[in-house]
Structure 1
Amino acid sequence: MTHRLKKEKDYSYIEAGEGTPIIVLHGLMGGLSNFDSVTKHFSQNGYKVVIPELPIYDMSLLKTNVKSFAKYLHEFIEFKGYEEAILLGNSLGGHIGLYHTKHYPEKIKALVITGSSGLYESAMGSGYTKRSDYNVIKKKAEDVFYDPAVATKEIVDEVYETVNDRNKLIKTLAIAKSAIRHNMSKDLPKMETPTCIIWGKNDTVTPPEVAEEFNALLPDSELFWIDKCGHAAMMEHPELFNKILADWLTKREL
């Protein structure tokens, strides 16, 4: 982690730079450090990058769902006093961004989704029957990426710890069920917010056809592919990811 975590009221978050806020929404097992490259690049190029720690494992089981996380994001935006913001979400974070924008569109200038859930959730919360076997979990973590070497020991250890913590595992499964319940296919055609879709061509968690469906259903979206790339494009190809996003923001005058 290259940036210090700020703690205010009920929120912990990273904040860097000045300008229009880009609020980054991490995934189910995605650490804030997964976005170090995004934070560094955009905080030095006219944006305020803000990454809140989402309360994925901190809410009661009844509130462990996409709807509650979107409400938490709304309250965070109100707390920070932002009049407008860009949301950037990976995996579950993309889903939270989409759901938030459906309910609170007025302050969201643009959406950026990469490997987002919201249409296809079969891979979330599955495959933990052998969770005590470190090598099984290591393989599962490596499969998220096109290049398995991206799954460092630190990443594998974090996933292993999460799935072997009974409370966290129960909540992981609850989130997976919630993601299915909060399918966005009927909502997307009504969402006019400009959306940038950046997707790994080799994503096996949310396959390429998911990106194509997002692009077909959203009224104002553009889809960009990254080759030799899995589920976390901002980690596997950080420079290309940043360039695609920066060019899109410039073109849209955002």
Structure 2
Amino acid sequence: MAVNKEHPFVPGYRLNVNNVEIYYEYFDHENPDAKVIVLVHGFLSSTISFRKLLPYLTKEYKVIALDLPGFGQSEKSTSFIYKLSNYGQLIIDFLDKLNIQDVILIGHSMGGQICMHAARKAPKRIKKLILLGCCSYVKRASRSLIACSYLPLFTWGMKSWIQKKDVKQNLLAVLHDSKLVTQEMIDGYSKPISEAAFINCLIRLLRHREGDMSSEELKEVTQPVLMIWGKEDKVIPLKIGYKLKHDLPNAELIVYEKCGHLVMEEKPEEITKEILRFIEQPNGVSHEIL
């Protein structure tokens, strides 16, 4: 992997994985034996969602942040099957391409569900999981809605819905502290959803996305798991976190007061301390902090 040694913080790599061009950012570390962390964003997001964690994580580890197919700067593929299990397999194939064996995955929201799929598929390579406001127990879209998605007016309706979305209002809805919403933040989160091809990817995701893992499937995710939740999360309520902790065999849950869905935007320094502790501890010992 080519890295500018004079300035290791050089983003902007592209890699073809299973005929899909993936955009990713790689942050090297002076220690060649440093652990590798892979960051997986959530729905309607991109690598930007981890911008506040990177200064902390890159001090200790090699870090890779990637845009999933259909999102951010990755290809808006019309051939990729937008199933969460396929996203999980793509992460494994992505690691194969880079010849990386052992990793720790950090996933936010939908990205957390994708990380669990990768963990089930490659239990020896995915050493630990860190799930931030992890999307869970979402059912597959109804057959009638999927059927409607093939109607010509559906694409127009989806486009109108995206164009009318006020990114500032959406950010205010997922953050507890409204003062964190700046114009820079609005611009950063707006850019990934502004491309015309993005609409078609959303529709394909609607059609292809299977339901989230069942309680039985979650029991197969045996790696140590750290779950971090905002108590005021309105997108994935805290009660989902408690249910997920119950279904995962080796999980601990940390809850932050006065914090919403974007925990990495609101509590970057605090959650980094917990992430470092969790990564360096030898075993996944369950405990709960409120």
What range is the shorter-chain TM-score in? 0.7 to 0.9
Greater fraction of residues in helix: 1
Q: Deviations over 1:195-253 (max 9, x none)?
A: 00011111100000111111000000000011111111111111111011112222236
**DSSP 3-state at the match of 1:99:** helix
Identify the range of structure 1 (231-240 vs 167-176) with the bigger mean alpha-carbon deviation: 167-176
Q: 2:248 aligns with which of 205, 209, 218?
A: 218
Q: 1:15 aligns with which of 20, 26, 36?
A: 26
Identify the range of structure 1 (78-87 vs 141-150) with the bigger mean alpha-carbon deviation: 141-150
Residues 121 and 176, structure 1, Cα contact 8 Å, conserved in 2: no
Letter in 2 for 1:55: P
Q: Tell me what 2:153 maps to.
A: none
Runs of 5+ unmatched residues, structure 2: 1-7, 17-21, 141-157, 285-290
Q: Say yes or no: does 1:37 pair with 2:52.
A: yes
Distance 1:233 1:115, change over 3 A: same
Matches within 5 A, 1:125-204: 130-133=161-164, 135=166, 137-157=167-187, 160=190, 165=195, 167-176=197-206, 178-179=208-209, 181-204=211-234
Letter in 1 for 2:11: L
Q: Say yes or no: does 1:112 pair with 2:130.
A: yes
In the TM superposition, residue 104 of structure 1 has moved relative to its aligned partner by: 1.9
Q: 1:26 aligns with which of 41, 65, 71?
A: 41
In the TM superposition, residue 162 of structure 1 has moved relative to its aligned partner by: 5.4
**What is the TM-score normalised by the length of structure 1?**
0.85
Q: Say yes or no: does 1:82 pair with 2:96.
A: no
Q: Say yes or no: does 1:54 pair with 2:60.
A: no
Letter in 2 for 1:86: I
CA distance in 1, matches of 2:232, 2:134: 14
Distance 1:160 1:5, change over 3 A: closer
Residues 5 and 14, structure 1, Cα contact 8 Å, conserved in 2: yes
**DSSP 3-state at the match of 2:49:** helix
Identify the range of structure 1 (209-218 vs 3-12) with the bigger mean alpha-carbon deviation: 3-12
**DSSP 3-state at the match of 1:7:** strand
Letter in 2 for 1:214: L
In the TM superposition, residue 25 of structure 1 has moved relative to its aligned partner by: 0.5
CA distance in 2, matches of 1:178, 1:219: 28
Runs of 5+ unmatched residues, structure 1: 123-127
Q: CA RMSD in A?
A: 2.7
Alignment size in residue pairs: 247
Identify the range of structure 1 (192-201 vs 170-179) with the bigger mean alpha-carbon deviation: 170-179
Identify the range of structure 1 (72-81 vs 161-170) with the bigger mean alpha-carbon deviation: 161-170
**DSSP 3-state at the match of 1:5:** strand
CA distance in 2, matches of 1:188, 1:205: 21
In the TM superposition, residue 64 of structure 1 has moved relative to its aligned partner by: 2.2
In the TM superposition, residue 114 of structure 1 has moved relative to its aligned partner by: 0.6
Residues 162 and 169, structure 1, Cα contact 8 Å, conserved in 2: no
In the TM superposition, residue 151 of structure 1 has moved relative to its aligned partner by: 3.2
**What is the TM-score normalised by the length of structure 2?**
0.75
CA distance in 2, matches of 1:181, 1:72: 18
CA distance in 1, matches of 2:48, 2:174: 16
CA distance in 2, matches of 1:133, 1:110: 39
Q: Say yes or no: does 1:4 pair with 2:22.
A: no
CA distance in 1, matches of 2:178, 2:210: 28
Identify the range of structure 1 (109-118 vs 180-189) with the bigger mean alpha-carbon deviation: 180-189
Distance 1:164 1:121, change over 3 A: farther
